[in-house]
Structure 1
Amino acid sequence: MKQAVYQHLKRRNRPTHPKELARALGLKRSEVRGLLNELVAEGKVERVRSRYQLPGGGKLVTGRLDLARDGYGFVVREDGGPDLFVPEARLRGAWHGDRVEARVTGADRRGREVGEVVRVLERARRNAVGTLRFARGYAWLSPEDPRLPPRIKLKPEGLALVPEGSRVAARLVFPEESGEREVYGVFLERLGEGGDDVEAETRAVILKHDLREAFPEEALAEARRAARAPLGPELDRREDLRALPVFTVDGADAKDFDDAVHLRRLEDGTFEVGVHIADVAHYVKEGSALDREAFARGTSVYLPGRVLPMLPEVLSNGVCSLVPGEDRLAVSVLVRLDREGRVLGHRLVESVIRSRARLTYAEVEAFLEGAAPGEALRPLAEDVRTLFLLSQRLRARREAEGAIFFDFPEVKVELGPKGEVHLIPIREEKARSLIEELMLLANRLVAGELEARGLPALFRVHEDPSEDRFRELSEALARLGYRLEAPTPAAYQKVLKAAAGRPEAEVVATLLLRSLKLARYAEESLGHFGLAFRDYLHFTSPIRRYPDLVVHRVVKAMIRGRLSEEKLERWRRTFPQVAEHASVRERLAEAAERELAKYHQARWARDHLGEVFEGTVSGVQSFGFFVLLPNGVEGLVRKESLGDDFYVYDPETLSLLGERTGRRIRLGERL
């Protein structure tokens, strides 16, 4: 069998995970790992992070280009191999975020692989935002993003009445599309008239990150037809759960309720916990215009003061939303738990439910803290209390398995009627933990069942940190007095516990978080490092995430026994591209949300100039230090502004040291 493993790696000619080998060769994963270890010892195979390849293999790699401000970049490989360093001169017209094919050409003095871009497979952006300039008889766009070229030539159409210095948006036309030698831009619109313009800033972020606003009429028409369709035939064939005490828990301003829960006490002293998820797949048919638009969007985007939903509101806030008192179609995970939170069994069913109440995190939190239940919560009080106790047992079991728990404060940006900024810390820890644990449970059980059956799915994967990141993290933690024993979830958790309650706790957590890879979607189950789960996926939010909708289609086909070979083959063929696209759209949405939140935080800071606040030193550099306020606002304090001494940066202790006073400004210090 060792030769079969070797030949399979030779045919694939790229880094391969042991799980892929086990599946392809019909072996147990433990057998495959043993054979791979023997091949590594013989020098016939080399290990690349969690994958294996022949020595010198993988000369052509595919991935996303991550550009630094200095011009060079790294190809973040799709196969999980080490990031490929690409000098600026070898980018060949590729831009930040582009999906590229690159060739490994050698290694540098540090042993890091070096390569060159061969071709651009997919452009990351269609639009750019910047300042309009005129020079040498041409119009030019000076982009705001420093990772883009410093200027892009614009076509003159539409610019006759636009003054120089205006903030404008342009559609990018690349050489592969135009046949020209250089990229150029086509003027789209002027963004605001100058000054603080919230609408213009929001519009700029939408354009910059290629977010979609209006729905195509064909998709809207399909949504309206789906919403009007009678439920009669569906109600008859589904498991009727309308008599159960089902309820939702969401934020006070939420409208798209895609998950609900219930508790039922069984005669043997165990519990049935139901996690009911809106059956969006019933309304959004695979391959329809509505489905194509949902795929293109990938996710709902929640900007301050504005939501760009993945689905039209007639579905997302209408017939798909699990509002109280209405019959709703769902896909339900019915889990049997004992008092210690152990899973004794589960079922997946297509169901019809009727929510009893729409509860908010705030009222559930108040109740769990000892307040009397309100009118909506009162009939469900004992269920909520028991579900919370069970959720904490589930959390404790996850902790024992090595899950990493980060406790960063969350702040929500809200805009008042006149655009005023309110930064509101999110504090409903118990209520949110209750729902989070039940959703994690459902996601994990669905992932495990699909993986055990060998069915195609979109998994949520979080791979181990790279060797370079782990080494850098270990060195940084050592300067703060901590020892990271191994690149495992349990070792990370141990450091977090050791730092808990100490001034540098938040800084330690930040260092640990930054060392981790980004979670992504994949067509294979590669485990989730942060959650310490062997199998995991997203199932519980199909109204706002496309991968969840895809998983629902697989689950529904499994429940109905309609898994034809043709369907399975189509899914296996298309899911890798769906996973990559969904991951890209998720990153764009997160970047847009983060950028606009930072803008509003800057507006808040401007409105509070001269006021004094307490904060925590969140970063130290040679030029100064960063301070994070409790409301999420972070700012730079330049060292020349410190009048009490001349400060020198000490990289060993990540601090600034005053030469005369000996005062030291450290990470985690309260100021």
Structure 2
Amino acid sequence: MNDIMEKKKKVILELMNDKTYIPMKFKELAVVLNITKENRDQLEEVLSELLEERKISITKKGKYVITKEHYIEGYFISNDRGFGFVEVEGQDEDYFIPEDKVNGAFHHDMVLIQVEDSQTGKRKEARVVKVLSHEIQQVVGYFQKSKTFGYVLPDNQKIAQDIYIPGKDTMGAVTGHKVVVQITDYGTNGRKPEGKIIEIIGHINDPGVDIISIVKNYDIPTEFPEEVMKQIENIPDEVPEEDKVGRKDIRDWQTVTIDGEDAKDLDDAVTLTKEDGIYTLGVHIADVSHYVTENSPLDKEAVKRGTSVYLVDRVIPMIPHKLSNGICSLNHDVDRLALSCIMKINEKGEIIDHEIVESLINVNERMTYTAVKEIIVDKNPETMERYKDLVPMFELMAELSEILRERRYKRGAIDFEFPECKIKLNQGGKPISIEPYDRNKATKIIEDFMLAANETIAEDFYWRQLPFVYRNHEEPDMEKVSQLTTFINNFGYSVKMSKEQIHPKELQKLLKNIEGTPEEALISRITLRSMKRAEYTPECKGHFGLAAKYYCHFTSPIRRYPDLQIHRIIKEALNNKLTDKHISHFNHILPEVTKNCSITERRADDAERDTEKLKKAEYMMGYIGEEYEGVISGVTNFGIYVELPNTVEGLIHVSNMMDDHYIYDENTYSMTGERTKKTYKLGQKVKIRVEAADKVARTIDFSLAE
């Protein structure tokens, strides 16, 4: 029915777009379109939809015409200063919405906008014509009680207004409670939004409430539905004999997992041998799809979550712990089902042959990055003695890892070495230290082997011309690359670029040049920010950062849905079950699946970033008045951002730059004093004093120290 309706709309639009079309009333239009009296109600329905979509309009004389005004749908992103922006799918640049043209739009509403001539001349401008739908139904925030009512200050800083709560709808909350509010009225014409409290998370000072508030704010599911828990009751703790039949039995291969000390969901294991100058590398991935079958309650919940979420104090898994830490985890000394990519690699690092098989494995040792580093780097006698049977394989792994990395480097792959931070908390959830993660040769071994498998699988299925899920990373936006160039020039570095593109090798050279310098971490992070966000699609578009033509995510089906999805496709292909019907099925579902995977990945990243910002702010509350040296990491018209060596970033607001009136130059990303001519620019070292930190707002304020 929808297809028929769309065809009818298309016919009408083509008619009205024709230069010979003369505006006409309903009856005249019906005659021209050869619509009988009995079917005119259908024409009325089609015209109503086109009017609703603003594709046509009616003149004062009741005649139908094509809409001349330019209307576009998009998401409204509000700003706490009253104005906003509208993001349109498929467009890199958003539209600026002045405060007087917001027209009552609430943060993240789907809106219809009309493009207007820009008043500034620098960016696209528009006005909100109509709010099509309210995407945000619930808000998390801080409750404050008055005598007869209350109000909630939203945690989401983009929501500028507080939310009025009538006395009958406070659910007994008191000042200081973090709550979840159901919005009942979005407010218009200066009237505040209104809502009712549906959940009290806890008092703001209670341990863990701050993190749970972020989880609730992003609507990340934490509890598994009853039907999911019922399904896993029937899943065994050990692999039954009948499930082992028909698989490649490699239980006698020397097999290890290498993960962090705290890891419990072990979804990848590796094997390696060398004979006659040829390495045989096996990357064995937990066969999660054997247990999480399509359209089962487990699968539907996994789709909804999209990914496991790793926060500073907890992990919110994509699938229940019984699977992720149990039968789907490649634990030591137990039989496990796997999907294996076994590659033949020559001494140049070329993958000259491979096979993909359903396998049966048994892990010899559960290794940690620390222990492997002690073997291949530190040559620790005790550790080497403990794992003496495995030492030759680890040394071979280090050898092959270097070869694969060098080969990737030669083609232009970019390797970001900046440290991600690890925030340590005490039992009460208070941050006690912020340290960089240790990324060493052991972690690089696993990275290199997983990358090899991901590329091999992606290329294999690309040439099979079967439906698939690719991990794409498009070329960066040249405006952002230009900003990066300005930034690195302040340090004395440069990159070659044309007006239209930059080769990843240029960014690779930059990162090589800054290796070991004090500014390495900062420039690496700013370079990463200049990149586009990688995404999942059914089309293979290549991976800019890896300088790879083919890439996918195959290696983490316990924690990423895209990996689980392609495991199903791979297994159907291996078992000759990819009939035309199945191919049609995957072609139908993959656009939506990949879109959802990209959205849930972004949600997880944003939640992780917010919890880090919160704990960094809480940590710096203990260092008010202290002075540190940092580097200017951002310059805006309202102040300068400074990053400290421990990755904490704070703002020196322009109002706190008391010694002069500073003018912002957006071309050079610098601030210059009107009288003193003192200049602050990106990359410049400055001494700061910590003035304030607010864990609720997740902000840190600095001032310039003498």
| Equivalent position of 1:456 in the other structure | 467
Contact kept? 1:276, 1:330, Cα under 8 Å: yes
| Equivalent position of 1:312 in the other structure | 320
Q: Which amino acid aligns with 2:480?
A: R
Q: Note closer, same or farther for the CA distance 1:320–1:90 as it changes in structure 2 (3 Å cut).
A: farther
Q: How does 1:398-477 map to 2 (within 5 A)?
A: 398-421=408-431, 422-477=433-488
Q: Note closer, same or farther for the CA distance 1:615–1:517 as it changes in structure 2 (3 Å cut).
A: same
- Distance (Å, rounded) in 1 between the aligned partners of 2:330 and 2:516: 40
1:262 is the counterpart of 2:277: no
Q: Secondary structure at the match of 1:226?
A: coil
Q: Which amino acid aligns with 2:545?
A: G
The CA deviation at 1:115 is 5.2
- Distance (Å, rounded) in 1 between the aligned partners of 2:221 and 2:495: 46
* 1:195-242 Cα distance to aligned partner (Å, 9 max, x none): x43321122111111111111111012122123575212212101111
| Equivalent position of 2:590 in the other structure | 575
| Equivalent position of 1:147 in the other structure | 158
Aligned partner (choices 595, 604, 618) of residue 633 of structure 2:
618
Aligned partner (choices 275, 280, 283) of residue 272 of structure 1:
280
The CA deviation at 1:126 is 4.3
Q: Secondary structure at the match of 2:408?
A: helix
- Distance (Å, rounded) in 1 between the aligned partners of 2:82 and 2:327: 49
Contact kept? 1:82, 1:466, Cα under 8 Å: no
The CA deviation at 1:565 is 1.8
The CA deviation at 1:560 is 0.8
Query: Could you tell which deviates more after superposition, 595-604 or 112-121?
Result: 112-121
Q: Secondary structure at the match of 2:245?
A: helix
Q: Note closer, same or farther for the CA distance 1:230–1:144 as it changes in structure 2 (3 Å cut).
A: closer
1:330 is the counterpart of 2:320: no
Q: Secondary structure at the match of 2:389?
A: helix
Q: Secondary structure at the match of 1:446?
A: helix
- Distance (Å, rounded) in 2 between the aligned partners of 1:208 and 1:367: 44
| Equivalent position of 1:395 in the other structure | 405
- Distance (Å, rounded) in 2 between the aligned partners of 1:542 and 1:63: 33
Name structure 2 gaps, 5 residues minimum.
1-9, 14-69, 688-706
| Equivalent position of 2:497 in the other structure | 485
The CA deviation at 1:555 is 0.8
The CA deviation at 1:348 is 0.8
Contact kept? 2:251, 2:360, Cα under 8 Å: yes
- Distance (Å, rounded) in 1 between the aligned partners of 2:423 and 2:378: 28
- Distance (Å, rounded) in 2 between the aligned partners of 1:208 and 1:340: 49
- Distance (Å, rounded) in 2 between the aligned partners of 1:505 and 1:473: 14
Q: Which amino acid aligns with 1:79?
A: G
Q: Which amino acid aligns with 2:685?
A: E
- Distance (Å, rounded) in 2 between the aligned partners of 1:60 and 1:641: 42
Q: Secondary structure at the match of 1:525?
A: coil
Contact kept? 1:365, 1:428, Cα under 8 Å: no
Q: Secondary structure at the match of 1:245?
A: coil
Q: How does 1:85-96 map to 2 (within 5 A)?
A: 85=96, 95-96=106-107
- Distance (Å, rounded) in 1 between the aligned partners of 2:328 and 2:660: 62
- Distance (Å, rounded) in 2 between the aligned partners of 1:333 and 1:656: 54
The CA deviation at 1:521 is 1.5
Q: Secondary structure at the match of 2:283?
A: strand
1:208 is the counterpart of 2:220: no
The CA deviation at 1:507 is 4.0
Q: Which amino acid aligns with 1:365?
A: K
Identity of aligned residues (%): 35
Q: Secondary structure at the match of 1:536?
A: coil
Q: Which amino acid aligns with 1:320?
A: C
| Equivalent position of 1:299 in the other structure | 307
* 1:532-587 Cα distance to aligned partner (Å, 9 max, x none): 22121111111011111111111111111111222221221121111121111111
Name structure 1 gaps, 5 residues minimum.
1-9, 14-58, 176-180
The CA deviation at 1:666 is 5.7
The CA deviation at 1:600 is 1.6
Q: How does 1:77-156 map to 2 (within 5 A)?
A: 77-79=88-90, 82-85=93-96, 95-97=106-108, 100=110, 105=115, 108=118, 110=121, 112-114=123-125, 125-133=136-144, 139-154=150-165, 156=167
- Distance (Å, rounded) in 2 between the aligned partners of 1:61 and 1:377: 63
Q: How does 1:550-629 map to 2 (within 5 A)?
A: 550-611=565-626, 613-621=628-636, 625-629=640-644
- Distance (Å, rounded) in 2 between the aligned partners of 1:563 and 1:496: 44
Query: Could you tell which deviates more after superposition, 462-471 or 473-482?
Result: 473-482
Q: Which amino acid aligns with 2:248?
A: E
| Equivalent position of 1:523 in the other structure | 538
The CA deviation at 1:245 is 0.9
Q: Which amino acid aligns with 2:395?
A: R
Contact kept? 1:647, 1:656, Cα under 8 Å: no
- Distance (Å, rounded) in 2 between the aligned partners of 1:69 and 1:233: 61
Q: Secondary structure at the match of 1:314?
A: helix
Q: Secondary structure at the match of 1:538?
A: coil
The CA deviation at 1:472 is 3.7
The CA deviation at 1:345 is 1.1
* 1:404-434 Cα distance to aligned partner (Å, 9 max, x none): 2222112112322343423232113211111
- Distance (Å, rounded) in 2 between the aligned partners of 1:174 and 1:270: 68
The CA deviation at 1:70 is 4.3
Q: Note closer, same or farther for the CA distance 1:260–1:101 as it changes in structure 2 (3 Å cut).
A: farther
1:234 is the counterpart of 2:228: no
Q: Which amino acid aligns with 2:471?
A: R
The CA deviation at 1:518 is 1.3
The CA deviation at 1:312 is 0.6
Contact kept? 1:227, 1:315, Cα under 8 Å: no
- Distance (Å, rounded) in 2 between the aligned partners of 1:362 and 1:535: 32
Contact kept? 1:218, 1:289, Cα under 8 Å: yes
- Distance (Å, rounded) in 2 between the aligned partners of 1:436 and 1:123: 42
Q: Secondary structure at the match of 2:390?
A: helix
| Equivalent position of 2:252 in the other structure | 243
TM-score by length of 2: 0.78
| Equivalent position of 1:32 in the other structure | none
Contact kept? 1:102, 1:115, Cα under 8 Å: no
The CA deviation at 1:123 is 6.2
Q: Which amino acid aligns with 2:314?
A: R
The CA deviation at 1:451 is 1.6
| Equivalent position of 1:185 in the other structure | 195
| Equivalent position of 2:396 in the other structure | 386
* 1:39-71 Cα distance to aligned partner (Å, 9 max, x none): xxxxxxxxxxxxxxxxxxxx7767655544445
Q: Which amino acid aligns with 2:551?
A: Y
- Distance (Å, rounded) in 2 between the aligned partners of 1:231 and 1:617: 59
- Distance (Å, rounded) in 2 between the aligned partners of 1:95 and 1:565: 45
- Distance (Å, rounded) in 2 between the aligned partners of 1:253 and 1:635: 31
The CA deviation at 1:110 is 4.7
- Distance (Å, rounded) in 2 between the aligned partners of 1:471 and 1:664: 19
Rg (Cα) greater in structure: 2
Contact kept? 1:615, 1:670, Cα under 8 Å: yes
- Distance (Å, rounded) in 1 between the aligned partners of 2:113 and 2:680: 47
TM-score by length of 1: 0.81
- Distance (Å, rounded) in 2 between the aligned partners of 1:129 and 1:235: 48
Contact kept? 1:650, 1:657, Cα under 8 Å: yes
The CA deviation at 1:124 is 5.3
Q: Note closer, same or farther for the CA distance 1:612–1:300 as it changes in structure 2 (3 Å cut).
A: same
| Equivalent position of 1:47 in the other structure | none
Aligned partner (choices 341, 355, 363) of residue 363 of structure 2:
355
The CA deviation at 1:609 is 4.0
1:669 is the counterpart of 2:666: no
The CA deviation at 1:255 is 0.3
The CA deviation at 1:466 is 2.6
